[in-house]
């Protein structure tokens, strides 16, 4: 009887041991499976994070900043002029610039300089005679009327037939070569003038003393030069 009890006890212990082993194996299997899934997910995430996508871009790349429109420069025209009753001038444009033929020029004291082409001194509108050839700098805006109409910024008159008209320019830069002491004035429209050694620089209608240092960017001036653009004198405006 005692032996039978021992056999039952041994059987029960064996069953308990086998059950515990089975549970442990199941837990280990589940843990292993979960670890495998987690590792695979981490691997995929790492692969996706480490992958850099580069797109090929063709064509010109434009700046995001808005480009500033270029401000047009004034245009020089010339031709014989006729005075009109309303104080404006009618010019027969023969320059090949802007519109050929008749153009009406608006002239006003607060807008237009009328200067003697040789001295740079002011000339009254009444002193401009019919048939005189003038050089006029006009703004870029012009009406679509016939004849077209525009504003005159600068007018040169009393120019001898064999003389070169002066240039009315806006200074872009003034550079002096230290080695040669040669100075070059570059205008906003790209024209370049080499200053003669004895180039006279003087102000418009004042007795102020002006020098090369006053010819800074944005300043307006009249330049008298020869056919090689060698400047003999420069008249500087205060504005």
Ordered by where they begin, the domains of the chain are 75-157 (2.40.50), 167-236 (2.40.50)
In the prediction, which pLDDT does 150 show? 96
Rounded-to-integer distance, Cα 230 and Cα 137, Å: 21
In the prediction, which pLDDT does 191 show? 96
pTM of the model: 0.69
Lowest-pLDDT range, 10-24, 61-75, 90-104, 203-217?
10-24
User: Is the model's pLDDT at 138 over the cut of 50?
Assistant: yes
Rounded-to-integer distance, Cα 187 and Cα 144, Å: 30
Residues 11-34 have a mean pLDDT of: 44
Residue showing tokens 């008209």: 165
* pLDDT tens-digit map of 144-166: 888 999 999 999 999 998 999 99
Looking at the chain, how many residues does it have?
Answer: 239
**Mean pLDDT, the chain, integer:** 80
Pairwise pLDDT comparison (200 vs 73), residue with the higher score: 200
Q: Closest by alpha carbon to 134, among 111, 166, 109?
A: 166
User: Is the model's pLDDT at 73 over the cut of 50?
Assistant: yes
Residues 96-125 have a mean pLDDT of: 94
In the prediction, which pLDDT does 224 show? 99
User: Is the model's pLDDT at 47 over the cut of 60?
Assistant: no
As a whole number of Å, the CA-based R_g of the chain is 45
Pairwise pLDDT comparison (179 vs 17), residue with the higher score: 179
Dihedral, 42, 44, 49, 53 alpha carbons, nearest 10? 180
For residue 74, how many C-alpha atoms fall within 13 Å in the half-sphere facing its CB? 20
Residues 177-197 have a mean pLDDT of: 96
* pLDDT tens-digit map of 118-131: 999 999 999 999 99
Residues 195-213 have a mean pLDDT of: 96
């Amino acid at each position: 009887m005692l032996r039978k009890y021992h056999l039952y006890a041994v059987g029960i212990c064996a069953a308990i041991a086998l059950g515990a082993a089975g549970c442990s194996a199941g837990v280990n299997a589940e843990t292993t499976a979960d670890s495998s899934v987690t590792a695979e997910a981490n691997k995929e995430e790492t692969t996706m994070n480490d992958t850099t996508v580069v797109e090929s871009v063709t064509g010109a790349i434009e700046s995001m900043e808005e480009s500033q429109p270029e401000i047009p420069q004034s245009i020089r025209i010339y031709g014989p002029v006729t005075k009109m009753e309303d104080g404006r001038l009618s010019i027969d444009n023969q320059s090949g610039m802007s519109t050929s033929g008749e153009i009406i020029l608006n002239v006003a004291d607060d807008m237009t300089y009328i200067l003697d082409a040789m001295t740079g001194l002011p000339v009254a509108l009444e002193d401009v005679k019919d048939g005189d050839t003038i050089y006029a700098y006009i703004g870029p805006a012009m009406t679509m009327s016939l004849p077209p109409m525009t504003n005159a910024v600068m007018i040169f008159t009393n120019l001898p037939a064999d003389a070169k008209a002066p240039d009315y320019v806006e200074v872009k830069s003034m550079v002096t070569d230290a080695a040669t002491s040669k100075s070059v004035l570059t205008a906003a429209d790209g024209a370049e003038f080499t200053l003669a050694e004895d180039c006279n620089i003087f102000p418009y209608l004042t007795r102020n003393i002006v020098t090369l240092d006053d010819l800074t960017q944005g300043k307006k001036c009249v330049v008298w030069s020869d056919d090689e653009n060698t400047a003999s004198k420069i008249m500087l405006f205060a504005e």
